[in-house]
Chain A
Amino acid sequence: MIPGLLVLLGCQLVGEFVVRLLDVPVPGPVVGMVLLLALLQLHEPAKDSGLVKTCEGLLKHLQLLFVPAGVGVVQYLSVIGASAVPLVVGLFVSWFAALATTAGVALLLVKVVRRRASPA
């Protein structure tokens, strides 16, 4: 577990460094994820290795890790206060628009790609 965690933290730290160095607008851990993906593609670890177990353990409980930030929201709900209607309705409408657009465009293209791969 410790070596696995070290690999993850190492990738994150390299990611944080790259983000600062190149001034790219993504979080360090996201660059770390790309780095780990590249490493995994080069050399796939055994399914029972520490790295894989650490990854699976963290991801199984990913929801837990969002709880503290979410508690902050409860404390700051009052900032929404007077503008509740535009914010809450706007949030829901734009959330749905993003979900439906992504699903619609991706579904359409999945069909296009499939048709090209196997012309009737």
Chain B
Amino acid sequence: MHLDEAWTSVSTSPVLGVALTLAAYQLARWLWLRAGNHPGVNPVLIAIVVVGFALWVLGIDYDTYMEGGSVIALLLGPATVALAWPLHLEMALVRRAVLPILLGVAAGSAVAIVVAVGSTRLLGGSEELALAMAPKSTTTPVAIALSQTIGGIPALTAVLTILTGITGAVIGPRVLTLMRVRNKVVRGLAVGVASHGIGTAQMIQESRTEGAFSGLAMALTALATSVWLPLLVPLLT
């Protein structure tokens, strides 16, 4: 077999996508540990950049990469279910904080929509762009579905949603500290509302309480955003 044929069979194999993702993540995690768990050295962000660069160098397109990438992404389902475990361990705290949880999520998710649409329009963005922006604080599958129903651009919403998640993962904990928010329940809730699962993945690294409440807020925000959007969008457009 010729060299280029052999390379083609390897570069189109799903194994490559899996291996590349794991290698990039391992490298990113190592850097993060070396940086003393600094959230600015976010493993998700670094791994994304490393994989993107590797694909560019190797000349592999995204669809080919995703044959392997989707195998890893498939585990997001069971991992989301697994968020029940830290939440179960924190149930005593949840019971005491029912009101802050419900009203915090309700207010935060409404403000996310109103400010997203309002600021995009004020800065000269079209209504279509503003609508694509509206559901971006909720978890990606919900954001895409909602964008479709309100007349946004689903592909753009997917990009904005993931960028919102990365923003929360990279600077969320630091911003909360600067705002002197030390209560771990509140910190978890805030990042979960503003930055869904990607923010939650960071908060799990911070502490069990923050991770549990971020996961809970992510779940409730999916529901709250679905309720708020059809009510708020007619008022905003």
A residues near B, CB below 8 A?
Answer: 5, 8-9, 11-12, 15, 24-30, 32-37, 40-41, 44, 51-52, 54-56, 58-77, 79-80, 83, 85-87, 89-103, 105-107, 109-110, 112-113, 117
Q: Which residues of B contact A62 (CB under 8 A)?
A: 79, 197, 200-201, 204
B44 touches A70 (CB 8 A): yes
A sample of 28 cross-chain residue pairs with beta-carbon separation below 8 angstroms, ordered by A number, consists of: A9-B77, A11-B84, A29-B80, A32-B80, A37-B88, A62-B200, A63-B25, A66-B76, A66-B197, A66-B198, A67-B21, A67-B72, A69-B140, A71-B51, A73-B163, A76-B158, A80-B159, A83-B126, A87-B133, A94-B119, A95-B168, A95-B194, A96-B194, A98-B108, A100-B179, A105-B108, A106-B104, A106-B186
Which one of B76, B88, B194 lies within 8 Å of A98 (CB-CB)? B194
In the complex, the answer to whether B163 meets A65 with C-beta atoms within 8 Å is no
* B residues adjacent to A (C-beta < 8 A): 17, 21-22, 24-25, 29, 42-45, 47-49, 51-52, 55, 62, 65-66, 69-70, 72-73, 75-88, 91, 96-97, 99-101, 103-105, 107-109, 111-112, 115-116, 119-121, 123-126, 129-130, 133, 136-137, 139-142, 145-146, 153, 155-156, 158-160, 162-169, 172, 175-176, 179, 181, 183, 185-187, 189-191, 193-195, 197-198, 200-202, 204-205, 211, 215, 217-219, 222-223, 226
* With known contacts A87-B129, A105-B103, A106-B190, A93–B72 Cβ distance under 8 A: no
User: B101 → chain A, closest Cβ, in Å?
Assistant: 7
Tell me whether A59 and B85 are in contact (CB under 8 A).
Answer: yes
Interface of B is mostly: helix
A68, A83, A93 pick with most chain B CB within 10 angstroms? A68
> Would you call B176 and A75 a contact (CB within 8 A)?
no
- Among A9, A67, A74, A100, point to the contact of B25 (Cβ < 8 A): A67
Contact A98/B81 with A44-B88, A63-B201 known, Cβ cut-off 8 Å? no
Determine which of B119, B121, B133, B155 lies in contact with A79 in the assembled complex, contact meaning CB atoms within 8 Å: B155
Question: Which residues of B lie under 8 Å from residue A89 when comparing CB positions?
Answer: 119, 123
A102, B108: Cβ atoms under 8 Å?
yes
**A26 B163 Cβ-Cβ under 8 A:** no
Interchain CB contact under 8 A, A36 and B84: yes
Across-interface contacts of B145 in A (CB, < 8 A): 25
Complex contact B97–A113 (CB within 8 A)? yes
The CA of A33 and the CA of B166, in the complex, are separated in Å by 23
B99 adjacent to A113 (CB under 8 Å):
yes
Asked whether, in the complex, the Cβ of B181 is within 8 Å of the Cβ of A90, the reply is no
- From A27, A29, A66, B44 is in contact (CB under 8 Å) with A66
Q: Which residues of A contact B108 (CB under 8 A)?
A: 98-99, 101-102, 105
Tell whether, in the assembled complex, residue A26 and residue B77 are in contact, meaning their CB atoms are under 8 Å apart.
no
Closest-by-CB residue of A relative to B73 is: A68
A98 touches B109 (CB 8 A): yes
Query: Which A-chain residue is minimally distant from B96 (CB atoms)?
Result: A113
Contact A26 B222 (CB under 8 A): yes
Chain A residues lying within 8 Å of B168, measured Cβ to Cβ, are: 95, 99
Closest A residue to B146 by CB, please name it: A25
Contact of B78 among A12, A75, A94, A117 (CB under 8 A): A12
